[in-house]
Amino acid sequence: MKTGERTGAVLLVLAVVFFALGLKFVSGFGTRLPAPQTIPLVDPQFLETATIRKSYAELVRTKADLSDFDCYACHEKGKPPTLRFDAQHNVVVPQEHADVVMGHGTHNRNNNCFNCHDDQNLELLQARDGRQIKLAESPLLCGSCHGPTYRDWEAGAHGRTGGYWDRTAGAIQRKICVDCHNPHRPKIPPRNPAPGPHLLHPVAAAAVEASH
Amino acid sequence: MSTPTSNSHANEGQSADGLSRRSFLRSSAVLASGLAALAASLAPLRHLNDFPSLDQFLQKYYKELTPEEMAKVLKRIEGEVEREYGLRPHVRDLRPMNGVEFVYALNLTRCIGCRKCVHACVAENNQSRNPEIQYIRVVRLPHGSLDLEKAEHNYNPELVPEKGYFYMPVQCQQCKNPPCVKVCPVHATWQEADGITVIDYNWCIGCRYCEAACPYWARHFNFTKPSIPKERLNLDMAYLGNRPRRQGVMEKCHFCVQRTRVGRYPACVEVCPVGARKFGNILDPESEVSYILRTKRVFIQLKEELGTSPRFFYYFDV
């Protein structure tokens, strides 16, 4: 019968099509899977938990070289060094202290070494109320001006934290001000960001590339 | 499929049992194509080289495991990891501590967008490196706005922070009212007593409902078998935490249960170079998060209008 033959023909065509598709899928012919991109492992420097600098207290603790802090190897005891200023009232940092870049506070308001250092004993610090403070206890000096920050730091809200939150299980690791901030230039410099997410889809990745 | 018999009135070449040569050929062609289509639909299974073992398949639900069974399961997982990576891990089942509810506080004044937390988290939690799965998404927002439509997380400048922008890391907010838990059809994810929403990776069926339900994009799906380089495998593992996942399951930030439930800080807190990340027990009035929530300008829980009530707070100094 006519309808029977037509149905048969349709079924045959369908069968051939399915068969061909099946072969194609099974063989994987013509399917273009995106090549797996290579993503380099992140540089271990970004996993580092160390601070960007080491405080005096940390140097003492790790028994590092402390010769930089031996003031009276060069200076004379009992003779306060004299400061020199240029025409703009910037303190002239002598060659021997070339690693010191003055940058504490804005508008050149904090340009006197002896705002913090004790001119009578260079191995000590001095708060503005006259208290003498050991180098290893420098947060007391910082706190004498930066009160709210010092309060936050004591409560654990300012600065880095590590170790144990549960004090019964272990010790918390806190850092002091100068573990992160250079006292002569406390603003922390900008840094390289770690790599962002790698986009899987090539078109999306190209769009992001183009937007930069 | 009744074609071969319906046209059987055509009597030439018809055999005794009513099946013509033509109809036989037709029906066998249909059958062959049907089989081919079936084979084609099953073809992706060829790439599934990671069939669950019988023990894995028959494992009971996390909450129903007796301590002895749990010990056995942990042993088995250690063996599986060792076979895969050649390194013997230490897998534990850590339960919530009494009188502890974890809260996270993040200081938006401090965050510089360096993404160190992202990578410390990947390293700590054995996340897939290729394709990448990252629990933390750091978005860059222009100053003066909290419009997430303007958020950019593919920023890539030479140096951060950039002028005119601030950065907001987003990760699982450990909601008090978690939408992801509500939608899970098999109860593979739930909220624990210390506030951490966890996943039983052996119970997850990979339906991804939770991914769709989460307003924070915090849940991630393992489309492929996670690739973790052996030399970067973290061997300190927890059942509900950072043990290597299988293909086809969800994963998410769990506040590093392998660390926090033994009293340590999460990896992202420890690595943050600016101290923007704060973590602790909100039930302890002496903890830093209690201090922050008491005294700081805690201005948002992200998308708080959704009623998810996150345990993750963003705040500003002063």
Check whether B113 has a pLDDT greater than 70: yes
The predicted pLDDT at position B8 comes to 45
Q: Is residue B80 part of a domain?
A: no
Q: Are strands B102-107 and B312-316 parallel, antiparallel or unpaired?
A: parallel
The predicted pLDDT at position B251 comes to 96
Interval B231-258 mean pLDDT: 95
pLDDT in tens, A28-62: 776 666 666 788 999 999 999 999 888 888 888 88
Confidence of residue B13 (pLDDT cuts 50, 70, 90): very low
Q: Which helix (H) or strand (E) holds B278?
A: strand B277-281
Q: Is residue B200 part of a domain?
A: yes
Whether the Cβ atoms of residue B172 and residue B252 lie closer than 8 Å to each other: yes
pTM: 0.82
Residue B198: CATH number of its domain: 3.30.70.20
CB atoms A26 and B43 under 8 Å: yes
Is A146's Cβ below 8 Å from some Cβ in B? Answer: no
Q: Which helix (H) or strand (E) holds A172?
A: strand A172-174
Interval B187-208 mean pLDDT: 96
Which residue in chain B has the smallest CA separation from A205? B154
Q: Is residue B246 part of a domain?
A: yes
Q: Is residue B19 part of a domain?
A: no
Q: Pick the residue with more confidence: A22 or B222?
A: B222
* Candidates A51, A170, A197; nearest CB to B154: A197
CB atoms A193 and B115 under 8 Å: yes
The predicted pLDDT at position B2 comes to 45
* Total count of domains within chain B: 1
Q: How far apart are CA A115 and CA A104, in angstroms?
A: 11
**Chain A from 158 to 187: CB within 8 A of any B CB:** 158-166, 168-170, 175, 180
Q: Around Cβ A103, how many Cβ atoms within 10 Å?
A: 13
Tokens of B18: 């009513």
Residues of A in contact with B280 (CB under 8 A): 156, 165
Check whether B6 has a pLDDT greater than 60: no
The predicted pLDDT at position B15 comes to 52
Report the gap between the CA of A75 and the closest CA in chain B (Å): 36
Q: Is residue B230 part of a domain?
A: yes
ipTM attached to this prediction? 0.80
> What value does the mean pLDDT of chain B take?
90
Instruction: List helix spans (H) across B67-108.
Output: 67-85
Q: In terms of residues, how long is chain A?
A: 212
Q: Is residue B91 part of a domain?
A: no
Collapsed DSSP state (helix, strand, coil) of residue B139: strand
CA distances for B116 relative to B23, B56, B299, angstroms: 69, 35, 24
CA distances for A66 relative to A58, A70, A75, A193, B161, angstroms: 11, 7, 16, 32, 33
Q: Is residue B73 part of a domain?
A: no
Whether the Cβ atoms of residue B69 and residue B63 lie closer than 8 Å to each other: no
CB atoms B159 and A39 under 8 Å: no
Q: What is the CA radius of gyration of chain B?
A: 26
Best residue in A12, A46, A211, A212 for a mutation probing chain B (most B CBs within 10 Å): A46
Q: Is residue B29 part of a domain?
A: no
The predicted pLDDT at position B38 comes to 87
Residues 6+ apart with CB under 8 A from A146: none
Which residue in chain B has the smallest CA separation from A163? B264
Residue B286: domain span: 102-316
Whether the Cβ atoms of residue A124 and residue A114 lie closer than 8 Å to each other: no
